[in-house]
Chain A
Amino acid sequence: LAKTTQPISMDSYEGQEVNITCSHNNIATNDYITWYQQFPSQGPRFIIQGYKTKVTNEVASLFIPADRKSSTLSLPRVSLSDTAVYYCLVGGPVRFGAGTRLTVKP
Chain B
Amino acid sequence: ETGVTQSPTHLIKTRGQQVTLRCSSQSGHNTVSWYQQALGQGPQFIFQYYREEENGRGNFPPRFSGLQFPNYSSELNVNALELDDSALYLCASSFQVLAGTDTQYFGPGTRLTVL
**Is B27 an interface residue, CB under 8 A from the partner?**
no
| Least distance between A6 CB and chain B CB atoms (Å) | 10
**Given contacts A41-B88, A96-B43, A98-B42, A46 and B104 within 8 Å (CB-CB):** yes
Whether A43 contacts B111 by the Cβ 8 Å rule is no
Chain B residues near A96 (CB-CB < 8 A) = 35, 42-45
Whether A49 contacts B103 by the Cβ 8 Å rule is yes
Whether A46 contacts B105 by the Cβ 8 Å rule is yes
**Given contacts A94-B45, A99-B42, A41 and B101 within 8 Å (CB-CB):** no
CA A92 to CA B96, docked complex, whole Å? 10
CA A36 to CA B88, docked complex, whole Å? 17
Chain A residues near B44 (CB-CB < 8 A) = 96
Chain A residues near B107 (CB-CB < 8 A) = 43
Interface residues of A (CB under 8 A from B): 30-32, 34, 36, 41-46, 49, 85, 87, 91-99
